[in-house]
Amino acid sequence: MKIKVGFGFDVHQLKDNHPFVIGGVNLEHHKGAFGHSDADVLLHAICDALLGAANLRDIGFHFKNTDPQWKGISSIILLKESVRLLKEKGWQVGNIDAMLCLEAPKINPHIPQMQKNIAEAIGISVEDISIKATTNEQMGFIGREEGVVAYAVCLIEK
């Protein structure tokens, strides 16, 4: 068996009165992430981790933010497509470990649904999806609620 580890990172600007989707969950908040797709920072970091582990470049290579095909698209679709690309190369996902960094809203109540959404999109157990959240202690652009950041690592196996 061959295994590889991947690392992903994503950041999105927060804007007033904009939808806020994280892990495929629509969050109630006065600000939301802005981007070409639904700007789901968590799923974008996971896609980058998976694609990177399989040496398939990154999310921007496959889903260009200048391509109207991806405008406003659910990042669940981008995650499913990333997993399809891995499977074409004979890889399967072992597990995901992710970290969100934002001041608000509180993420903890939404983690089980996020895990479920991601597990279903990838085709693995909820037990293999770890999501954690922290704040930036009111420092920097995260602390001022100007942006949101996500990090992810994954294990893939062949």
Which residues participate in the annotated binding site? 10-12, 36-37, 44, 58-60, 63-67, 134-137, 141, 144
Annotated binding site for a divalent metal cation: 10, 12, 44
Q: Is the CB of residue 79 less than 8 Å from the CB of residue 37?
A: no
Q: Is the CB of residue 121 less than 8 Å from the CB of residue 76?
A: yes
Beta-carbon-side half-sphere exposure of residue 130 (alpha carbons within 13 Å): 12
User: Where does 78-120 show beta strands of DSSP type E?
Assistant: 92-101
**What distance in Å separates the CA atoms of residue 43 and residue 61, rounded to the nearest whole number?**
16
